[in-house]
Amino acid sequence: MIDLDEDIFHEILAYTELQAMNASSFIVITLLATSGLSSLEAEDTHLLSVRIVDEDGNITPARAWVDADKKRLFHPSSPKTATPYERDRSFSCEGKFTMNVPIGKVVIHVEKGKEFFPVDQAVTIGEERLVETTITMKRWIDMPTRGWYSGDLHVHLGHDDPGILRQLSLADDVHLVPAFTYWLRGRGEKWNDDWPDKSYTTSIRIDDRHLITRNNIEIERINKASIPGGFLGATFLYNLNSPVSVKQHGEHFPIDATLCRIARRGSPNAVFDCDKPSWAGTAISAALGTLDTVQVCHNHYHRAATISGGWGMIGPLTPGESNAADDDSLFHRTNALYYRLLNCGFRLGVSGGSAIGVMPVATGQHRVYAMIEEPFTADKFWKATKAGQSFATSGPMIELTVNGKGIGSTLSRESKSSTPIVCEARVHSIDPLESLQIIYNGRVATTLDLVGKRKGNEVIREHLRCELMPKRSGWVAARAYFRAPDGRLRQGHTSPVYLAVDEKPAAFSVDANYMLRWVAVLEIIAKSNPERFPSPSIQADVLSVYEEARTKYQEVLSASQQFWGD
């Protein structure tokens, strides 16, 4: 048996699988992982029985694992309803489980999403055949009482099993779990024009705070070996009346913006989400108005590592840009590209998703919170998310007002006004934070240093205020930074409050020119690779959509010159 540190081993396994390693290598690694688990279970073990309760003593669903003898155990012997998740080496359960563990000290880890303190409880296993213990989950914040309900906008696990989805929603305390029923990749799979049955169009209510939906799809065209800009990327389509389907499809066509337009015609209340702003097709979709949200807390941020970008992502298009994970380049580029889109006048909310079922994370590791008036429904969630009444987070809870207006609002003012606007950001966190910042048109307006502010298990509750004198239309947002176990940045980030100065459009020449370079790269690739398309007419269709996006960015450039003198 090869002795690998399990955290390192697990990240290598996830990364190599994503890199599309050959089948024989994957089988070898999988067998090594399996043999490691079975060898531990073959040792002299005793039975550990765990009850997980809330503060009222009621059994509550949660996610767990047990660390024993430098191994992580995540296959409970009971109940059968527990759902082990190999990639994350954890399992979700209804609130009780038993597990075979070796003699000695073990540590039971239990977590329940973002609003509860995680628990690491040490237990000593002696000669007795059964050891019983109870773990109490305590809230540190209750977001629904504040009007905020969460959703994980990237769920693959359990799409065909409402029982698993129900457990994920409750165990990870994700208020809306919108699972993907179809995952379209243009590699020969059938693109269905209807759902498996009528039940897929109806949300499944678990309780007054938790819902499941399955009328959602992912369209993903990526390839790790592609040149920058060479593959379209991934777009998520939520709240569909019917799936999007076309007679001819492939890895390079139709582009996502075209498919979203088709979907919108049949599903006017659908929400279209961008998996990452650095995907090649993002600039096109944003320009054509076929995006509602952008994931700034996305699936390349794992528990124990950060996965670099690539797979056909655009760029770099200007000095200093990188999609690498080292020195937080991917993190900063994610934010910077989102800010460029906002500076082109596109109203895009933030979002977050885990990719559970594909990546080594729990449901809701990254999530979006939407402001909703009770009662909580899926329709209200999607309406608020589409309107940008939201924040995305990998941990901290963050709020923002500008002159008392909330996230997603528009503040109108005159450029001649001599009264500043007042921006106030608040953050609540059990993660040790580095900073709380207010962002104005893509630049940091003010920062509150929070390094060393958290003492012991106390909750960080901080407030930041600044005054601005906006002389051109734009936006304000807030973000809070912290470090993950691998030392890389994570965040909570609000959607913007928009500023309409003299009722003129937001437009910045530097960002419009950047996006024009982006479109030019895509046009060159499409023109120089006609073999990507089954016919000249389909190639022409793609190029015509690119030209439409180019025209939009030229309009933004003209507006920046006409209205703001850029």
pLDDT at 548 over 50: yes
Three-state DSSP string of 521-556: HHHHHHHHCHHHCCCHHHHHHHHHHHHHHHHHHHHH
Report how far residue 133's alpha carbon sits from residue 455's, in angstroms, rounded to the nearest whole number: 28
Q: Are residues 405 and 501 in the same domain?
A: yes
Q: Are residues 440 and 525 in the same domain?
A: no
Domain boundaries, position 552: 509-564
**Residue 550 forms part of a structural domain:** yes
pLDDT at 263 over 80: yes
Q: Are residues 105 and 130 in the same domain?
A: yes
pLDDT tier, 82 (very low <50, low <70, confident <90, very high otherwise): very high
**Residue 168 forms part of a structural domain:** no
Q: Are residues 400 and 502 in the same domain?
A: yes
pLDDT value at residue 539: 98
| Residues 74, 101 contacting (CB under 8 angstroms) | no
Phi/psi of residue 340, each to 5°? -65, -40
Report how far residue 496's alpha carbon sits from residue 478's, in angstroms, rounded to the nearest whole number: 8
Helix (H, G, I), strand (E, B) or coil at 218: strand
pLDDT, mean of residues 549-555: 98
Report how far residue 295's alpha carbon sits from residue 350's, in angstroms, rounded to the nearest whole number: 6
Q: Where would I find the H helices in 77-222? A: 162-171
Q: What is the pLDDT of residues 121-145, one digit of tens each?
A: 999 998 888 999 999 999 999 999 9
Q: Are residues 401 and 502 in the same domain?
A: yes
**Residue 314 forms part of a structural domain:** no
pLDDT tier, 34 (very low <50, low <70, confident <90, very high otherwise): very low
pLDDT, mean of residues 66-85: 96
Helix (H, G, I), strand (E, B) or coil at 300: coil
**Residue 420 forms part of a structural domain:** yes
Report how far residue 230's alpha carbon sits from residue 223's, in angstroms, rounded to the nearest whole number: 8
Report how far residue 440's alpha carbon sits from residue 496's, in angstroms, rounded to the nearest whole number: 9
**Residue 51 forms part of a structural domain:** yes
Q: Are residues 547 and 495 in the same domain?
A: no
Question: Strands 497-501 and 148-151, how do they pair?
Answer: unpaired
pLDDT tier, 487 (very low <50, low <70, confident <90, very high otherwise): very high
**Residue 208 forms part of a structural domain:** no
CA 401-407-409 angle, to 5 degrees, is 95
pLDDT at 16 over 90: no
What pTM did the predictor assign?
Answer: 0.92
pLDDT value at residue 43: 52
Q: What is the pLDDT of residues 189-234, one digit of tens each?
A: 999 999 999 999 999 999 999 999 999 999 999 998 899 999 999 9
Does residue 144 have a cis bond before it (omega within 30 degrees)? no
Report how far residue 359's alpha carbon sits from residue 157's, in angstroms, rounded to the nearest whole number: 10
Q: How many CB atoms lie within 10 A of CB 72?
A: 18
Three-state DSSP string of 471-523: CCCEEEEEEEEEECCCCCEEEEEECCEEEEECCCCCCCHHHHHHHHHHHHHHH
pLDDT at 113 over 90: yes
Q: Pick the last residue of a domain from 471, 491, 506.
A: 506
Return the amino acid letter for 464: L
Determine the number of helices (DSSP H) and then strands (DSSP E) in the chain. 9, 31
Q: Are residues 69 and 1 in the same domain?
A: no
| Residues 475, 487 contacting (CB under 8 angstroms) | no
Q: Are residues 520 and 452 in the same domain?
A: no
pLDDT at 33 over 50: no
pLDDT value at residue 326: 79
pLDDT value at residue 44: 65
pLDDT at 100 over 70: yes
Question: Strands 271-274 and 210-213, how do they pair?
Answer: unpaired
Question: Domain holding 91: CATH number?
Answer: 2.60.40.10
Does residue 196 have a cis bond before it (omega within 30 degrees)? no
For the chain, what is the mean pLDDT? 92
Report how far residue 253's alpha carbon sits from residue 70's, in angstroms, rounded to the nearest whole number: 48
What lies within 8 Å, CB to CB, of 561 at 6+ separation is: 509
pLDDT at 474 over 60: yes
pLDDT at 78 over 90: yes
- For helices 6-18 and 23-41, angle between their N-to-C axes, nearest 10 degrees: 150
**Residue 177 forms part of a structural domain:** no
Largest Cα–Cα distance in the chain?
Answer: 81
Q: Are residues 59 and 126 in the same domain?
A: yes
**Residue 312 forms part of a structural domain:** no
Q: What is the pLDDT of residues 338-349, one digit of tens each?
A: 999 999 999 999
| Residues 359, 302 contacting (CB under 8 angstroms) | yes
Q: How many CB atoms lie within 10 A of CB 208?
A: 11
pLDDT value at residue 127: 83
Q: Are residues 31 and 50 in the same domain?
A: no
Q: What is the pLDDT of residues 408-465, one digit of tens each?
A: 999 999 999 999 999 999 999 999 999 999 999 999 999 999 999 888 889 999 999 9
Report how far residue 407's alpha carbon sits from residue 393's, in angstroms, rounded to the nearest whole number: 15
Q: Are residues 423 and 496 in the same domain?
A: yes
Q: What is the pLDDT of residues 406-416, one digit of tens each?
A: 999 999 999 99
pLDDT at 4 over 70: no
Q: Are residues 467 and 485 in the same domain?
A: yes
pLDDT value at residue 310: 86
**Total domain count for the chain?**
4
